[in-house]
Structure 1
Amino acid sequence: MIRKKGGDILRFFFLKRLSTDARRLVGSNTLFIAGLGLSATFINVYLWRVDRSLLPLLLFNGFLDVGIPLAFIFCGFLAHRIKEPTLLRIGIIAVSIFFAVLLLAGKAAAHHAAWLGLLFGLGQGFYWYAFHVASFDCTRSDSRTDFHVVSGFFTSLVGMLTPFAAGLIIANSAKLTGYSLVFGCTFTLFVILFVQSFRLKHGPRRRTEFAEGFCFARDPDWRRVWFATVSFGLREGVYAFVIPILVFFSSKTEAGVGDYGLWTGIVALLSYGWIGRMKRHDFLKRFMIVPSIALGGFACVLLLGVKPIILTIFGASTALLFPFVMIPLTAVTQDEIDESERSSVRRAEYFISREVALGIGRVSGVLLLWVTLSIVPGVRGVLFISSILGFAYVVSSVFIAKVTYTDRRGIRSRSSQNARTPHTADAGAFVSMNRKDKRLRPMR
């Protein structure tokens, strides 16, 4: 029994659950997150240091959130001409150029925050488009949750170590020299990732029909997933840059931001490991409402002020509960795309639609913060809107709970078999089920 348990642990850590292509994709994504972890956490702190204003942060993150879905749309136009690994490499090059420009701009970066944010968003968008399409192609519905658990585990691992290392480097360097060193290390990691990307395979190329991802009338469940994603983006668009700034205000040093990333990453790592050991993955979708409500409640502690103990409570709760929201949302989204042959073939259109929804949510969150700061300026306004947006996942969980996955490809296969033996009980059951469930209609 002990040996079997140990074998399960080894299979998890050495990715034996996944195909070779999936393991390569996990490795590439881990490198990408390591590069972002070194620098992305501190970009907003850097812009604050050189300008001492929240306006560059709002412009940078607002245009970043616009750039990502815009890149997905560009990829849609290019998809029938260019392979996914090539699109991924374009994203890596764009992100590398961003960090090179950031290094050259120095203190002037705050005056070009909007353009820098757009460039960073376009680079990430090209990368994430290729990653989502590739992850869909190299997994199935029965292995998709495993893929996201393993990928989340390793990205959490590097996501907690790299900010900690970067914080130490910056804190122990004179003035802004540490930032230049960290941005340079990130550039090097992306060069390695660029070389690694040539090992990735690509799926079939097709002309993109953008309307396919927005045909909500044909699939009400996709409409639910879409609005759940918009709500998810509301919180993410603000929390992605507000929390590191609040931690910096509290600790007064970049090392404090790195320490925060380290111990919250450890908690997230344990959470991903726990989910990976669970056998009833469908339970996560139904259970999603509980951690969503808890996350909203813990976000309200931010109203008590920017204090170390408050940020500790908030950080620990978020790191523990966030995977219980992120994994079911991602898995349900991809399962919904994989529901039928038609949606599976048009996977790129659905990913573009999803990213547009996420971008709408993120940009809306940044705009809400901007409006709030015009009424309640300073940290008070930031804490107020952050506590309200903390409940955005509750809306997402309500939509996701109503999604009912139906394996239409399996049903069509059984239908063709039953057509050859129409007098069997199974055929009658299929007809009865088809009448009761309007979602089991023939594909048009």
Structure 2
Amino acid sequence: MKNRTKIDNEEKSTRLSREAKILLLVGGLFTTATSLSGTFVNVYLWRAKNDLSMIGVFNLFQFIFIPIAFYLAGRMTKARPASLCLRIGLLLHMAFFLLILASRGNAPTFVIPLGTLLGLAAGFYWSAYQILTYDLTSRMNRDTYNSILGIIFSASNIITPVASGYIISKMPQFSGYRLIFMISAAIYTAVWLISLMMTAKPLDRPVELFKCWRSAASVWRYTLLGHYFFGIRNGVLMFLVNLLILISGGNEFTIGKLAMAASIVSAISFSLLEKILKPKRRILLFTIGAVMMLVSVSFLVFDTNLFTLLAYGLLNALFAPFFQVPFDSATLNVIDKNVNQSRTEYIILKEFSLNAGRITGVLIFLTLTRQESPTLMRILLLTVGSIHLTLLLFRKKLDFDVDVTKNRVNIKNK
């Protein structure tokens, strides 16, 4: 009877709770607002002033202040609900777009405060979102949650970038940008209202990052190293690709169409993963994803035009989820197996590592772009596009939890 009860409880744990579904809705709407305008923030700055270094500085300050906000939000969640930090992040996102609207065509003059504000906004939001994700999911349903989240993210990215690109390209000067930024601010307001339905219990204890680092097992340190290397790739490609589309002769509508095509492929990939991703296959799919992500960047290394950018976008969209979903689950598995009250410290340390990698990538970008050499640009793309392969050297050190299915079978057999 006890074994039967244990099996029933385990099967129930694979289902998503009501609050987890609300969190998925919050994440989906947030992504809609972000993809509607966030896709074009760097493009807007480029249109205002054709300066790659200025774009790099904007992203550099954003990546510097994301981990700072994570730390501040982490301290807050010890005494207040994580949902409060989520709302602060949403309010800061609204403030960011209001500042852009107020600055009009002079936004490049304010790239440092703009980057700082967006970094704080992202840090507060994602700190709370990840803590809530940890609280509302378990090891048994985390793959399902991450896959569904990926489907929602991809679906929301299918329509919004191409719609934004069309509006921006058809309206005179910066009028389209201003309209899109106002719509995004309105969506963030709606998400803020929905977030009032979220609840979370605070933990009444201080944030102890150094203690958490010293006591962490080696598997967690390898996980942090993995996030650092992935951050180098992510920090550069997340803004450089759209700029390359403009430089190669495209416009905002071209960016939107390519983003839509990539999002459709990504949604298919996440849907496929939801069906085939099992604990025992995590390492295999993770490896396939890592290798194919390098193949996608190789198109840009040999030549940079609209065709190679399309090839990169589609191939990366297809295989990046193979890499990201198992790695995200492996990260949360480590947190799940440690003391519950340390989850905030683990999440903050993860963001420190990820953004340290992003900062490294942007600094490399700023150094090489000063030379204005096509050869150095190819070296940059090859370097940041292959650096994540370093994770394959210690993939067996990561906690992919490949034995969880075997454990479930043993329980049922008993």
Q: What is the TM-score when the length of structure 1 is the normalising length?
A: 0.84
The equivalent residue for 2:290 is 292
Deviations 1:24-76 (A, max 9, x none): 00000111111110111101111011111112201110111111111001112
Residues 379 and 85 of structure 1: CA distance in aligned 2, closer, same or farther (over 3 Å): farther
Question: Residue 34 in 1 paired to residue 32 in 2?
Answer: yes
Partner of residue 255, structure 2: 257
The corresponding residue for 2:397 is 402
Aligned to 2:104: 106
Look up the SS of the partner of 1:391 in the other structure: helix
Relative to 1, partners in 2 of residues 1:406 and 1:161: Cα closer, same or farther, differing over 3 Å? closer
Distance in 1, matches of 2:201 and 2:386, equals: 38
Q: Which residue does 2:210 correspond to in 1?
A: 211
Residue in structure 2 matched with residue 412 of structure 1 by the alignment: none
The offset of 1:404, in angstroms, is: 4.3
Equivalent residue number for residue 187 of structure 1: 185
1:307-329 per-residue CA deviation (whole Å, 9 max, x = no partner) reads 12111211111000000111011
Who is 2:360 aligned against? Answer: 364
Asked if 1:354 corresponds to 2:335, the answer is: no
1:58 lines up with 2:56 in the alignment? yes
Following superposition, the deviation at residue 378 of structure 1 comes to: 5.2
Retained in 1: the 8 A contact 2:333–2:401?
no
What does 1:59-78 align with in structure 2 at a 5 Å threshold?
59-78=57-76
Is 1:228–1:397's contact at 8 Å kept on the other side of the alignment?
no
Residue aligned with 2:172, SS: coil
In structure 2, what is the equivalent of residue 382 of structure 1?
Answer: 377
Change (3 A) 1:204 1:397: farther
1:151-230 aligned within 5 A: 151-207=149-205, 208-215=207-214, 218-230=216-228
Larger Rg: 1
- Select between 306-315 and 59-68 the one with higher mean Cα deviation: 306-315
Note closer, same or farther for the CA distance 1:141–1:42 as it changes in structure 2 (3 Å cut).
same
Mapping 1:7-26, distance limit 5 Å: 17-26=15-24
The residue identity in structure 1 corresponding to 2:201 is G
Q: What's the CA shift for 1:77? A: 2.3
Tell me how far apart the structure 2 counterparts of residues 88 and 403 of structure 1 sit (CA, whole Å).
Answer: 29
Does structure 2 retain, via aligned residues, the 8 Å contact 1:230–1:358?
yes
Confirm or deny that 1:320 pairs with 2:318: yes
Q: How far apart are 1:297 and its partner, in Å?
A: 2.5
Greater shift, 158-167 or 289-298, is seen at: 289-298
Cα separation, 1, equivalents of 2:258 and 2:209: 41
Superimposed CA distance per residue, residues 183-225 of structure 1 (whole angstroms, 9 cap, x where no aligned partner): 000000000001000011213423222224422x640000110
The secondary structure found in structure 2 opposite 1:201 is coil
Identity %: 27
Question: Structure 1 152/209 Cα, relative in aligned 2: closer, same or farther at 3 Å?
Answer: same
> Aligned letter for 1:209?
E
Query: How many angstroms apart in 2 are the aligned matches of 1:167 and 1:282?
Result: 41
| Contact kept in structure 2, 1:160 and 1:262, CA below 8 Å | yes
Equivalent of residue 345 in structure 1, options 341, 345, 356:
341
Aligned length: 389
For structure 1, which segment, 177-186 or 245-254, has the greater mean C-alpha deviation from structure 2 after superposition? 245-254
* 1:362 partner letter: R
Instruction: Report what 1:373 is aligned to.
Output: 369
CA distance in 2, matches of 1:118, 1:285: 37
Say whether residues 1:148 and 2:146 are aligned partners.
yes
**Structure 2: runs of 5 or more not aligned:** 1-13, 403-414
Residue matched to 1:128: 126
Alpha-carbon distance change, 396 to 177 in structure 1, aligned in 2, over 3 angstroms:
same
Q: For residue 6 of structure 1, what is the aligned residue in structure 2?
A: none
3-state SS, counterpart of residue 196 of structure 2: helix
Which residue does 1:428 correspond to in 2? Answer: none
Separation of aligned partners in 2, 1:32 and 1:168: 21
Partner deviation per Cα, 1:105-163 (whole Å, 9 max, x = no partner): 01111011111011001001000000000000001001011111001110111122111
Structure 1 window deviating more from structure 2 (398-407 vs 136-145): it is 398-407
Give 1:379 shift: 5.2
SS at match of 1:142: coil
Separation in 2, partners of 1:17, 1:264? 29
Q: Is the 8 A contact 1:289 1:398 kept in 2?
A: no
SS of the residue aligned with 1:346?
A: helix
Kindly provide the amino acid, as one letter, of the partner of residue 208 in structure 2. E
Match of 1:416 in 2: none
Match of 1:242 in 2: 240
> How far did 1:380 drift?
4.7
- Greater shift, 205-214 or 172-181, is seen at 205-214
Distance 2:335 2:46 in 1: 41
Equivalents in 1 of 2:92, 2:21: separation in Å? 25
1:251, distance to aligned residue in structure 2 (A): 4.1
Q: Distance in 1 between matches of 2:316 and 2:123?
A: 25
How far, CA to CA, are the matches of 2:313 and 2:243 in structure 1?
A: 13
Instruction: Give the Cα separation in 2 of the matches to 1:245 and 1:372.
Output: 16
Q: What is aligned with 1:431?
A: none
Shift of 1:345: 2.2
